[in-house]
Amino acid sequence: MSAARETAPHGAAAAEVFDLIRRHQSPRLALTGSFAGRGAVESSAYGCRVTLSDGRTALDFGSYAVTLLGHRHPAVVAAVRDQLDRMPVSTRSLASPVTARAAAALAAYLGGGLPRVCFGLNGADAVEIAVKLARVATGRGRIVAVRGGFHGKSLGALALTHSPLYRTGLRGAVVDVVHVPADDAGAVGRAVAGGEVAAVVFEPVQGENGAGALPVEVLRQWCADAARAGAFVVADEIQCGLRRCGERSVALAEGLPVDAVLLGKPLGGGVLPLSAVVCSEELYAPLAADPFLHSATFAGLPLSCAALPPALAAVEELAAHGRTLAAALDAGLAGLRLRHPGVVAALRGRGLLRGIDLVDARAAGRVVTELAGAGLIVSPCLGRPTTVRLLPPLVAAEADVAEAVALLDGALAEAERGAAA
């Protein structure tokens, strides 16, 4: 890549980019982006490194879980380029072999017990589809979700998202939702007793809630109670699935009898948007009877679906390495907690989805500020402002984890000094 493109993405200086964002998008978005990049904008990326417009590089342990394979994984990019030269979009009238093969590959990847697949473009799409199918299949209207959960910001998915932060200015929810405590094994049994519940939806590991893993025995009881009441069980693994937390599916690996697993974020290999509902025959039955009950122009986009098989293959090739990285990250974070007891309250998460709980939001903000300047990209938790979230990619090296831990060490030290001042 030429120096001109590195320092002036698309021929525009960073200041011009921020001016465009202020005028045509949001002044606050421009302020946030300018703060995160110290006045620079993202220019290019490869692997776990992002190059900024001023020539600096940053280690990407954020990107909200999309870049599990890092940026521009060669096998995924090659497949997408090949499909781009053939047929990037579908006629929607003729059948697409690319989309059909992607659906078969995904069902097989999860073991074949959930044989049906419906594609979307983002996580909220998958949530909306699953909820819609459950309501039509059961003839019931209510959904049980979990306190602290995050399932998207479109109106239907937003009803399942627990935090009221995202519902400001909205008068109500399209979907009738009951939120239950994450640690109450009997909560679902009580919720489904009246016979109105169509589905129970949970994240095995709540990403936006600070990477908190839900108790497996609680989830097991919820699945049993839902099944007895004729309600479907949906595991939202849009952030925690696909080996992010060690397993292809956290719920299936734990032996939970779920009716659907929702996948997204890295499903398109970190190159193109793609999400999916992978589900049972029973949950899919309304779409089997009427395939036009739910449709979207770009759902199952051939260009996105071309990315799926190489992405799954790459994830599996790197799975063992991911466990090594997770162990290194565990050890590094444990050391940080011992060295900075004044600001680190707890460590949360599983595998390569980790949260550092700080003593308060001010300390967390200070850490994020320091990391922005030091060159480590993380993902703050909008619904849990006391937590800093780490999402390292499978393509990272152990040296990258060590670098991230060292940068966190410095940021936590600064936060500790700030707290003592």
In tens, the pLDDT along 53-103 reads 999 999 999 999 999 999 999 999 999 999 999 999 999 999 999 999 999
Tokens of 138: 């059961």
pLDDT score, position 156: 72
The pair of three-digit structure tokens given for residue 21, joined into one six-digit string: 């964002």
Q: What is the mean pLDDT of residues 336-351?
A: 97
Q: Residue 10's pLDDT band (boundaries 50, 70, 90)?
A: very low
pLDDT band per the 50, 70, 90 thresholds, residue 150: confident
Q: Identify residue 128 by its one-letter amino acid code.
A: E
Contact 400, 377 (CB under 8 A): no
Q: What is the DSSP letter of 147?
A: T
And the tokens for 85?
């030269």
Mean pLDDT score of the chain: 93
pLDDT at 13 over 80: yes
Domains of the chain by range and CATH?
A: 3-69+318-420 (3.90.1150.10), 74-317 (3.40.640.10)
In this prediction, residues 99-116 reach a mean pLDDT of 98
Residues 238-260, buried b or exposed e (16+ Cβ, 10 A)? Answer: bbbbbbbbbbbbbbbebebebbb
Task: Tell me which residue of 37, 45, 47 sits closest to 15, measured CA to CA.
Answer: 37
Is the pTM of the predicted complex or chain greater than 0.85?
A: yes
- Predicted confidence band at 313 (pLDDT cuts at 50, 70, 90)? very high
DSSP codes, 25-93? T-HHHHHHHHHHHTT--EEEEEBTEEEETTS-EEEES-GGG--TT-BS-HHHHHHHHHHHHH-SS--SS
- Say which residues have a Cβ less than 8 Å from residue 86's Cβ, sequence separation at least 6: none
The answer to whether the beta carbons of residues 353 and 245 sit under 8 Å apart is: yes
> Average pLDDT for residues 360-371, to the nearest whole number?
94
203: left (phi over 0), alpha (psi -120 to 50) or beta: beta
- Of 1-10, 71-80, 157-166, 398-407, where does mean pLDDT reach its minimum? 1-10
Identify how many contiguous H helices and E strands the chain contains and give both numbers: 15, 17
Instruction: Specify the pLDDT at position 5.
Output: 41
User: In degrees rounded to 5, what are phi and psi of residue 276?
Assistant: -155, 145
* Lowest-confidence region among 5-14, 141-150, 157-166, 392-401: 5-14
Residue 345 near residue 388, CB atoms below 8 Å: no
Per the document, the length of the chain is 421
* Number of CB atoms found within 10 A of residue 143's CB: 30
